[in-house]
Amino acid sequence: YENNLCGVKRSDFQRTIDGKEVDLFILKNDKGAEMAVTNYGGALVAIMVPDKNGKLANVIQGHDTLDGVIHSPESFLSTLIGRYGNRIAKGKFQLNGKEYQLAINNGPNALHGGPTGFHARVWDAEQTSQQNLTLSYDSKDGEEGFPGNLHIEVDYTFTNENEFILTYRATTDQTTLVNPTHHVFFSLAGIANPTPSVENNILTLNADFYTPIDEVSIPTGEILKVADTPMDFRTPHTVGSRINEPFQQLINGSGYDHNYVLNKKEPGELTFAAKCVEPESGRSVEVYTTEPGVQVYTANWQSGFAGWHGATFPARSAICFEAQHFPDSPNKPHFPSAVLQPGEKYHQVTIYRFGIEN
């Protein structure tokens, strides 16, 4: 543990919280790349991958102590998210004729499962090999306002192909909503003080449509074509080439903070979603997911706070690809349903594959 590439101390993460043991887990592959994660919120501490010259750097925003994670100015910095990733309008939804009210923690809306959602819980952890970690959690009926006792497991796998694979499984004893995701903040240049802007990153998205938002970031319910708008990344464009255009959607999101409707032949198939290349280092990440959507967020609200080894995270110094069902799906019957019934099994696979472009 003390010889890890990311230079974090296991002892800085070891603590008992609410009777559960928090720890640091290191995943390594045969290529010499490495990933560090804590079972507090499933937060990523570091992902160390090479650039075109073989130089390793941490490409995700995170903290190097448990206190840093717990007290982060960005509560969701590279953490697991749930029960419901993204926003639910006014925190209200109906299931089986009953109305539920969630905490309001983002303007007038509920965001990312609430203030004590999956990101702020200690998960049971079992590291089964150098490349595999399974986190599991029992979310009680009524927790953060959601109905049903939900059992969820998330496998973190770090393959020899430099893929970070997330596999989610969940079951419930009552009709409920399930829309977990991982809020990885990618900084492919390598985090630094300050971490450079992602505006030079070259982005491709496998999406012909997106869900536009209102001024409080709730989908209007429309599903619009990206064609002939600054939302169009069907061919590679730099993130910054159109981000400051006076386009109402970019004004509403203060940049990109939008759900893209992924092109699929059938629901639930594992398909290519996105590719992002940082041209100077040559590092790239490709995203594959079984989910119907991906939220592309350019960290527009980052404040420049300090994290891992004194790295700082200014606005637009990261990009997120949150695989998900669409925001506010419970209140938009024409969106893919995020309802899980007793007897059903929730399943999601999302892959982040790191590579090098010459």
> What is the number of residues in the chain?
358
d(CA 253, CA 297): 9
d(CA 233, CA 241): 11
| 34 counts as catalytic | no
Cα dist from 180 to 93, 146, 325, whole Å: 17, 13, 9
Exactly one of 63, 183, 258, 325 is catalytic; name it: 183
d(CA 115, CA 128): 30
| 183 counts as catalytic | yes
Whether the CB-CB separation of 212 and 219 falls below 8 Å is answered with yes
Exactly one of 74, 278, 291, 322 is catalytic; name it: 322
d(CA 285, CA 277): 7
Please give the torsion angle defined by the CA atoms of residues 112, 118, 119 and 121, in that order, rounded to the nearest 10 degrees.
150
| Residues with catalytic function | 183, 322
